[in-house]
Structure 1
Amino acid sequence: MAVGGQRLTATWAGPRPEGRPVVVTGVFDVLHIGHVRFLRDAAERGFPVVVGVESDDRVRAWKGPGRPVNPAAERAEVLCALRSVAGAFVISGPPGVAGWRDYADLLAPLEPVALGYTAGDPHTEAKRLGAEAMGAQSWEFGVTEAHSTSAMLEAITSLG
């Protein structure tokens, strides 16, 4: 729920794409094959894919002081460079503003056809509720096992 009346905001990394999109949200800190496959699979459904990238402050509050590795604006720019992504925006707001209604309020103006997420996403139920509140579908995509940013960063730091 909104904290003290504060809301989530979106800052587009480029022009907002036309049409009703599939919206996905997340950190997308260190791009890996799991991200690429997820976004490609979403795009193959025939709708523009737009990605909401969580701001640096939000990620730091949730994942600790060493994250994110890459700034939000750069993460959004990298995502926009992918063929499967029609646009990206940075989600800002207090870390405690993270309920499904907060996201539904932020995303509703996009009139999404669907919210996409990966199997096993800890926020699956919230994403389903948000999609339903916006009259959108919820689409679950397969996860690429053994590929996560956290696992990659752990492997990299263990080399040193």
Structure 2
Amino acid sequence: MTDTDATHGADTPLGAHWFERPELLERPAVVTGAFDVLHVGHVRFLRSIAERGLPLVVGIESDRRVGAWKGPGRPVNPAEERAETVAALACVSGAFVIEGPPGVADWSAYAELLRPLDPAALAYTAGDRYTQAKIRGADALGAQAWELPFTPGRSTTAALGRLAHSL
């Protein structure tokens, strides 16, 4: 991954571009996700990763990918704004936006996308439906797989539901 757009080459159907790249980036912890409407669950998750002592880099899924996975009306916020918001957190060293076809979500594609970062760890939340795939991806990259707690009742979907009921 470079400072500019990574290409969608034959080896990986995913590409990325940096929103904010740290000057020095040695073996970071990496997490990917939508991070659509930032909430306390996101903050606790990201902070707990950073507390393990590695620089934290966050991959933000593109609008097209999030919309296909989450349905109509999502994402609420555009990818560049989601990346800017996440990058502004003190515990985050940098953020990039992941581009590519929504149907490409296997960890071999993510492993190839993340390989240039040489991550020391890939983090995910407990109960993630892709846990086994993320563990395989971490293994393929020679990285640790870090499972961190999920904050019950605190998700973008739950927050949007609470907002809809309060209107």
Q: Give the TM bin, normalised by the shorter chain.
A: over 0.9
72-81 or 9-18, which moves further after superposition? 9-18
Letter in 2 for 1:100: W
TM-score, with structure 2 as normaliser: 0.91
- Identity rate of aligned residues, in percent? 60
Structure 1 position 28, deviation (Å): 0.3
Does 2:16 align with 1:10? yes
Structure 1 position 30, deviation (Å): 0.5
Q: Deviations over 1:4-45 (max 9, x none)?
A: 976101110022452110000000000011100111100011
Partner of 1:54: 61
Partner of 2:103: 96
Partner of 2:137: 130
Partner of 1:34: 41
Does 2:82 align with 1:71? no
- Distance in 2 separating the partners of 1:6 and 1:143: 30
Does 2:118 align with 1:111? yes
> Aligned residue pairs: how many?
158
- Distance in 1 separating the partners of 2:118 and 2:11: 23
12-21 or 84-93, which moves further after superposition? 12-21
- Distance in 2 separating the partners of 1:53 and 1:27: 6
Asked whether the 8 Å contact 1:6–1:97 carries over to 2, the reply is: no
Aligned to 2:20, the other structure's residue is in SS state coil
Structure 1 position 112, deviation (Å): 0.3
Structure 1 position 84, deviation (Å): 0.4
Moved over 6 A (4+): none
Letter in 2 for 1:7: P
TM-score, with structure 1 as normaliser: 0.95
Asked whether the 8 Å contact 2:12–2:112 carries over to 1, the reply is: no
Q: Deviations over 1:111-147 (max 9, x none)?
A: 0000000100111111100000011010000111110
Residue ranges of structure 2 left out of the alignment (5+ in a row): 1-7
Aligned to 1:90, the other structure's residue is in SS state strand
Give RMSD over aligned pairs.
1.5
Letter in 1 for 2:145: S
